[in-house]
Amino acid sequence: MASDTAPVQHFIRQIVREDVESGRQPSVRTRFPPEPNGHLHIGHAKAICLDFGIAAEFDGRCNLRLDDTNPGKELPEYVQGIQDDVHWLGFEWAELRHASDYFEVFYRAAEKLIRDGKAYVDDLNADEVRAYRGTLTEPGKDSPFRGRSVEENLDLFQRMRAGEFADGAKTLRAKIDMASGNMNLRDPAIYRIRKQTHQNTGDAWPIYPMYDFAHCLSDALEGITHSFCTLEFEDHRPLYDWFVDHVDLAGHPELWQPLVEAGIPTAPSKPRQIEFARGNLTYTVMSKRKLTQLVTEGLVDGWDDPRMPTLSGARRRGFPAAAMRAFWERMGVSKQNSNIDFGVLEACVRDELDAHAPRRMAVLDPLKLVLTNLPEGHQETVEFPNHPKDESLGKRDLPFSREVWIEREDFAEVPPKGFKRLIPEGEVRLRGIGIIRCDEVVKNDAGEVTELRCTLDPETRPGGNATDRKVKGTIHWVSAMHAVAAEVRLYDRLFEVENPGDERDGKTLKDYLNPEAKRVVQGYIEPAAADAEPEAHWQFERTGYFVADRHDHRPQRPVFNRTVGLRDTWARKGR
């Protein structure tokens, strides 16, 4: 797809360009390989944009591959959610693959390593494996089962496959180097016994490959030319190369014959792995464990709660996909981990919505205002542009009547310094109507203001003789006779500190929650806003940017979520 902004030059783009121009890689193949054990978050969008964006830029292909090797934590809900999120971001994969598509190939590859004397079946339990592994400063010790013969290892591995042994009783390990300075090379596990139903293969397999083994071989099977990974996988790269080199898929087509028979396109090669820094944002957390905690403890209203940093939450909040793409493109790609201020993402959202969101009138904290010099039952229509900067969005007719709703904060009996809106005996311009004067303030028995009685200067109405008369303030309104009641959910940042993941001094996520992150109010909107389709974006004038909730909004029962305010109030508060 076309980029939303000019590409930012970074080291990965340069590496791929050099590979293409030199002929080293005449065609580019990438992949986005999430594990379907949770919902994707905003940080994943960086990888998605990089994987799909680089492929598109160089006329290549990008697969979506679900690395589903851990059946205990994987659900069809996550599989579908991942596909929905990638589509929402605006990308289409060349092929949808699953690591589980290759389970038979992985098993054959493991048998090859055993026959080559490069893998063995180990009886050590998890605690014993950790004890034998050594430390960063001390080498590990060989397992007492490391010297098993090829024949014995093949027999045991085949019996593992047949389901003969209990979970955890045995593992298949690569025979590399227990003294290696890279802990990943100290005879890592290749297969473990796990008698659990897999969401894609059912009960066909009682053993499952480890992620490191399956991931790199999946890349090789798919002919991936450039494998982009985050920095924590840099130390895994020697292990990936070891697996790819010693299995040697390209030299042993019999290993992937099952894929040929199944009609799954296969082009074995050795991918080039390139690591980059994660995308971290302030005022949020992106740990799957902590996101799960928020959901399971009821601190949010599910995975797509608009306060959540999940992509489904951002979508429901009203963050445009184009803004998300533009944000990660502007941030670029580097090798340096850093935290990006959440306000930068919000600024990208404002830029996108300011340019494309039509304007509508809405009053969220209503106060009745009566224009006493208009006749009872007066109503008319006033023409308003849908966007002040984009005439192509056209105009609409807005109903107006003798009684209107205004925002309560647009009136003050005792105005603070610099207040430019309505006060007793003061004047303001009623947006698109004319200048009004407040003549009377009506209160209830508790002393609360319930109604303002005002007069409209007819000479200041459009087409009148005094339309250029100046007043300091302009306020918006909706017709009380025609307005539609709406539920408006005012969302803000979920946490009130920059680093809510900091658990020092006994603090937890709960201690950092922002009590103002969600407020629900009953307001009034103009009829044209009520007719919005779910996920339609609007700017409610003078208030902020809002979206019709994708699940709950109905024209007869409107529900809007605040996406972001018109300005960054967090920066103003110095938080």
Residue range 128-137, pLDDT digits in tens: 999 999 999 9
Of 59, 65, 56, 61, residue with least CA distance to 83:
65
In this prediction, residue 574 has a pLDDT band, given cuts at 50, 70 and 90, of low
Which pLDDT score, from 0 to 100, does residue 6 have?
65
209 lies in some domain: no
Q: Are residues 399 and 295 in the same domain?
A: no
- The count of structural domains within the chain is 2
Q: Are residues 495 and 569 in the same domain?
A: yes
Q: What is the mean pLDDT of residues 299-314?
A: 97
In this prediction, residue 532 has a pLDDT band, given cuts at 50, 70 and 90, of very high
Residue numbering of the annotated binding site for L-glutamine: 67, 211
CA distances from 520 to 13, 106, 285, 561, 567 (A): 45, 52, 24, 9, 20
Which pLDDT score, from 0 to 100, does residue 572 have?
65
In this prediction, residue 466 has a pLDDT band, given cuts at 50, 70 and 90, of confident
Q: Are residues 418 and 443 in the same domain?
A: yes
Which pLDDT score, from 0 to 100, does residue 4 have?
56
> Two tokens at 84?
């929905």
Q: Are residues 333 and 296 in the same domain?
A: yes
Q: Are residues 383 and 334 in the same domain?
A: no
> Which of 453, 476, 499 delimits the end of a domain?
476
Mean pLDDT computed over every residue of the chain? 95
> Which phi and psi angles does 264 have, rounded to 5°?
-95, 115
Of 443, 432, 405, 430, residue with least CA distance to 521:
405
User: Alpha-carbon torsion 363, 365, 366, 369, what sign?
Assistant: negative
Q: Is residue 385 over pLDDT 80?
A: yes
In this prediction, residue 543 has a pLDDT band, given cuts at 50, 70 and 90, of very high
For residues 422 and 438, the answer to whether their CB atoms sit within 8 Å is yes
275 lies in some domain: no
Residues 5-39 pLDDT 10s: 667 889 999 999 999 999 999 999 999 999 999 99
Q: Are residues 373 and 453 in the same domain?
A: yes
568 lies in some domain: yes
225, burial (CB in 10 Å: exposed 0-12, middle 13-18, buried 19+): buried
456 lies in some domain: yes
Residues 550-569 pLDDT 10s: 999 999 999 999 999 999 98
Q: Are residues 403 and 370 in the same domain?
A: yes
In this prediction, residue 57 has a pLDDT band, given cuts at 50, 70 and 90, of very high
Which pLDDT score, from 0 to 100, does residue 2 have?
46
Which pLDDT score, from 0 to 100, does residue 7 have?
74
Domain residues for the domain of 424 are 362-476
Residue numbering of the annotated binding site: 35-37, 41-47, 67, 211, 230, 286-288
Identified catalytic residue from 146, 288, 420, 542: 288
499 lies in some domain: yes
Residues 92-134 pLDDT 10s: 999 999 999 999 999 999 999 999 999 999 999 999 999 999 9
Q: Is residue 571 over pLDDT 90?
A: no
Residues 394-410 pLDDT 10s: 999 999 999 999 999 99
Q: Is residue 513 over pLDDT 60?
A: yes
Q: Is residue 504 over pLDDT 90?
A: no
Which regions of 54-206 does DSSP assign to beta strands (E)? 61-66, 96-98, 119-122, 171-174, 189-193
- 521 forms beta bridges with 488
Q: Are residues 376 and 472 in the same domain?
A: yes
Of 496, 499, 498, 501, residue with least CA distance to 513:
496
Q: Are residues 384 and 520 in the same domain?
A: no
- SS3 of 421, please? coil
146 lies in some domain: no
Cα separation, 143 vs 163, whole angstroms: 23
Which pLDDT score, from 0 to 100, does residue 505 have?
81
> Which of 476, 500, 525 delimits the end of a domain?
476
Residue 222 appears among annotated catalytic residues: no
Full-model pTM: 0.93
Q: Are residues 499 and 572 in the same domain?
A: yes
Q: Are residues 472 and 518 in the same domain?
A: no
> Which of 457, 476, 495 delimits the end of a domain?
476
> Which phi and psi angles does 172 have, rounded to 5°?
-100, 125
Which pLDDT score, from 0 to 100, does residue 8 have?
81
Instruction: State how far Cα 66 lies from the chain centre.
Output: 17
CATH number, domain of 458, equals 2.40.240.10
Of 339, 409, 288, 276, residue with least CA distance to 39:
288
Q: DSSP states of 318-382 as a string?
A: T--HHHHHHHHHHH---SS--EE-HHHHHHHHHHHHHHHPPEE-EESSEEEEEETTSPTT-EEEE
20 lies in some domain: no
Q: What is the mean pLDDT of residues 416-442?
A: 96
Q: Is residue 90 over pLDDT 60?
A: yes
381 lies in some domain: yes
Identified catalytic residue from 35, 329, 427, 526: 35
What one-character DSSP code corresponds to residue 7?
A: P
Residue 487 appears among annotated catalytic residues: no
Identified catalytic residue from 278, 408, 461, 542: 278
Q: Are residues 379 and 452 in the same domain?
A: yes
Residue numbering of the annotated binding site for ATP: 35-37, 41-47, 230, 286-288
Residue 278 appears among annotated catalytic residues: yes
